[in-house]
Structure formats: C-alpha cells, structure tokens
Chain A
Amino acid sequence: MRRNLFLYLAIACFAALIAIFIVDGYLGIYDTTYVTAGEREQTIEADYWLRYPPSETAKMTYQVSAEWGQKVFFRYEIDNRRFSTYSTLVQASVWQENEKVLDLFSEEESIGPFDKAMVEWTLSTQDLEKAGFGVDERTQYTVKISHGEVERRIVVDLRYPREVEPTPPR
C-alpha cells in the first residue's frame, strides 16, 4: 500500500508537470503581425519572437521587401490569453538610424480575457517623402511596433524600381 502511494505521487507529479507545460505555455499575451507588400502577405507568428530568450528578442528583426511607391499594409493582432483584461497603448512608428522618421499608428486598446484585437495601418512611401526621406537604390527603414513591454522590429527593405522599357504594342 505504502509503496503504491509513492508511485501514485510520482504519477501526480508527472501530471502536474504536463499541466504546467500546457497552462503556462498557452497563457499569456501573444501577437501576430501580417505584412502585405506587393501581392505577398507574410505572417510573423509570436513563435518567431519567442524562439530566443527575452533578453535577445529586442535585438531581433524580421525583414520585408517592397518597392518604392508601393504601400506596405500592416495588420497586428494581439491575443490576450489571460484571465484579466489587457489594456495597452499600441504604437507603430518608422525609424532609421535610431531616429524616428514617422508615427504610423497609436491607439489605446482594451482586450477582454481570452479575446483578440486587430489593428491596421499602412506605410506609404509618399508619407516618407513628405517627411523628407527618400530612397537611393535601396534603403532600409525599421517599423517598430510596441505595446506594454513588448517591442517588435520589422525592417522594410525599400528598393527603387528598375526602369522598364515599355513593350510596343503588336
């Protein structure tokens, strides 16, 4: 009887271990970014940023390519997998060489428990031109997305489109 008790307790420990993996691994604030440049949509799942320790996440970037003149569309989804409401200021801005170029988006969001919120904004090269920024042959800008203590960096690689000779009609 006593020896079985040890076995049952060991099994209970194992079950608790698995429960922690599921609950603690699932609960939290998760974000997904959808970036559409040209005809291609890219999805940056929360897993991408979680692959590295939190100390290194701030240094991580994701690269997106676009042509000058194109608009880059961003959709940002915050998934609140917690038992309390998550209130935060969601901000997005464009940076180059550690200087802010442009504010893209800023909105206070309040997300209920186990609910999601989606925000959208557009990076337009015309707005960059108005702010006095341009592109040589190829220029990179960083779009910083932040809410709470989370900051994501997406590098937008802007290329000037090559001149294309018009095809004469047949």
Chain B
Amino acid sequence: MRTYILYGFGILLCLSGVGYLAAEYVKYLSEPGKLACLMLMVGMFALLGRYFKEIGW
C-alpha cells in the first residue's frame, strides 16, 4: 500500500513538473505550432486510450 502511495506521489510530481515546463515553454511557440501541439496531444491521448482499451483496462 505504501509503495502505491509513493508511486502515486512520484507520478503526480512528474506530471506537475512536465505541466509547469510545458506551460512556461509554450509561450515561445508560434500560433500554428501551438495548434499542431494541441492536435498531436489530442491524438496521443486518443491513441493511448485505444491502447489501454485493447489490453483490457
């Protein structure tokens, strides 16, 4: 149980770190670049969702 709490804590820290860096760095992107990133992100999450569905999650 304690291990899972630590995993969860680590994952949260990683996500918040990546989120913070992305929010800082996204200012330097052009408008078409931001749009492309948004579309790729939607595609990435959709594909990951399909993958997890396929493996039976």
Residue ranges of B at the interface with A (Cβ–Cβ < 8 Å) = 22, 25, 27-30, 33, 36-37, 40-41, 43-44, 47-48, 50-51, 54-55
Asked whether B54 lies within 8 Å of A21 as measured between CB atoms, the reply is no
Asked whether A3 lies within 8 Å of B29 as measured between CB atoms, the reply is no
- A12-20, A64-72, A94-102, A148-156: which lies at the interface: A12-20
Asked whether B27 lies within 8 Å of A51 as measured between CB atoms, the reply is yes
Task: Give bound CA distance, A102 to B23, whole Å.
Answer: 41
B residues in contact with A20, CB < 8 Å: 29, 33, 36-37, 40
Residue ranges of A at the interface with B (Cβ–Cβ < 8 Å) = 2-3, 6-7, 9-10, 13-14, 16-17, 20-21, 24-25, 28, 50-51, 53
Asked whether A21 lies within 8 Å of B29 as measured between CB atoms, the reply is yes
Task: Give bound CA distance, A28 to B48, whole Å.
Answer: 33
With A14-B44, A20-B37, A21-B37 already in contact, the answer to whether A7 and B51 are too (CB < 8 A) is yes
